Amino acid sequence: MPRSIKDLDLKGKRAFIRVDFNVPIKDGAIGDDTRIRASLPSIHYALEQGATVVLASHLGRPKGKRNPEYSLKPVAARLAELLGRPVDFAEDCIREQAVRAVEQAAKGSRIVLLENLRFHPEEEANDSAFAKQLAGLADVYVNDAFGSAHRAHASTEGIVHHVKEAAAGLLMAAELEHLGRVLENPERPFVAILGGAKVSDKLEVIENLIPRVDALLIGGAMSYTFFKARGLPVGKSLVEEDLIGAARDIEQRAKERNLRLELPVDHVVAPKIDAGAAFETLPVADAAIGDRMGLDIGPGTVALYKSIIGSAKTITWNGPMGVFEIEPFSHGTIDIAKAVAGVKGTTIIGGGDSIAAVAKAGVTDRITHISTGGGASLEFLGGRKLPGVVALG
Ligand code: AMP
């Protein structure tokens, strides 16, 4: 475990806190402020200890260019509301504007949010000179952005080499504690549930999970690459052609390890992703799928997965079982959310869609830990060292 913000002397210091304020913003309005709320404990703590808080985050993918659509300015306003005190905003995260804003904040509000780090290509490139400039705004560095810890960027990795003291924020520490327990000593049976659209995103994770889990349940569009590998009819379902070989290898390795790797046995098929489309449930081997798409797991799969989930003592879940945003194809995901909530053991959910699904099913408060980092939590549970965590020492 890295040092915690609680181990630092913050009085009169500039505490540079890397947060994950990558919230959905449309036309200047914030959709869901969960990520802002998640770092409030660290921010409150630093303010109480007498620090000047310098907050930095990325927002979306502006690809290294200044773009008002991705400005963090609305986030500063929301943060001020949540804290009940003014929050300064710096129009840039480096140079004059940043330096001046931090100086001002130190004399006044004691809290400033810097503009989107990704307006500079050097952030994602982990450019050392850029990291040094960020470090120039800090007496101490705190990383509370667990959701970004799997990326070695200037604000998550490079900066640490230029500051005297670095530590994990309270959110980061809580994530590492919950996930670390599951990684090191999971109560068994340990079941991982993976869904969503892209196998490519999750391939390395699946490979890493194989030696750790007792069962791996696969759902969502990801299943179709495995079906194609098995020679089953997939119609127009999403398949990642170049990963068919990899899917075959995964099945082979699971077999060698005696791991239970389950794929859907039935699915809901429709001609297109549309709430009004006619749909029906078919066994996955049924050629009647024709040129339709598989868009949700069927009731047979739900029953099978529920029986495995029901006997688990540790569950991790990331990725929906179908196109859960559209009612006719949401049932599989909602049923799995309810089953996971019923587990008597440790349940960990990561990834925006799975979190939205448990919220939709009304069972959020029955989940042990909702991870703020989808990709980061998956990589961590897959045993990968996260650069943003390694850097903290
Ligand atoms: P990911 O970002 O890889 O976790 O994928 C999430 C997305 O996968 C969601 O928007 C779902 O609607 C989508 N999805 C899940 N199952 C399917 C499916 N069978 N066909 C098409 N899209 C799907």
12-38 pLDDT tens trace:
999 999 999 999 898 889 988 989 999
Residues 27 and 48 in one domain: yes
Query: Given this model, what pLDDT does residue 201 score?
Result: 79
Query: Given this model, what pLDDT does residue 200 score?
Result: 85
Residues 217 and 352 in one domain: yes
Residues 150 and 210 in one domain: no
Residues 90 and 215 in one domain: no
270-290: average pLDDT: 97
- The range of the structural domain enclosing residue 269 comes to 186-381
Q: Whose CA is nearest to atom 18 of ligand 1?
A: 221
Q: How many Cα neighbours within 13 Å face the side chain of 28? A: 3
pLDDT digits (tens, 9 = 90+) for 181-233: 988 899 999 999 999 988 887 888 888 889 899 999 999 999 999 999 999 99
Break the chain down into helix, strand, coil percent, rounded to 5: 45, 15, 40
- Rounded-to-integer distance, Cα 300 and Cα 298, Å: 6
DSSP code string of 344-369: SSEEEEESHHHHHHHHHTT-GGGSSE
Query: Given this model, what pLDDT does residue 80 score?
Result: 98
**How far away, in angstroms, is 219 Cα from ligand 1 center?**
9
Residues 76 and 123 in one domain: yes
Assigned token pair, 47: 């303010």
325 lines ligand 1 (CB under 6 A): yes
Q: Is 35 a catalytic residue?
A: yes
Last residue of a domain, one of 129, 153, 174: 174
139 lines ligand 1 (CB under 6 A): no
Question: In which band, very low, low, confident or very high, does the pLDDT at 353 lie, cut at 50, 70 and 90?
Answer: confident
3-class secondary-structure state, position 17: strand
Q: Is 14 a catalytic residue?
A: no
pTM (2 decimals)? Answer: 0.88
> 3-state SS string over 291-331?
CCEEEEECHHHHHHHHHHHHCCCEEEEECCCCCCCCHHHCH
**How far away, in angstroms, is 232 Cα from ligand 1 center?**
20
322 lines ligand 1 (CB under 6 A): yes
295 lines ligand 1 (CB under 6 A): yes
Which CATH number goes with the domain that contains 317? 3.40.50.1260
Last residue of a domain, one of 140, 174, 208: 174
Query: Given this model, what pLDDT does residue 156 score?
Result: 98
Q: Is 375 a catalytic residue?
A: yes
Q: Is 306 a catalytic residue?
A: no
Structural domain contains residue 54:
yes
Structural domain contains residue 179:
no
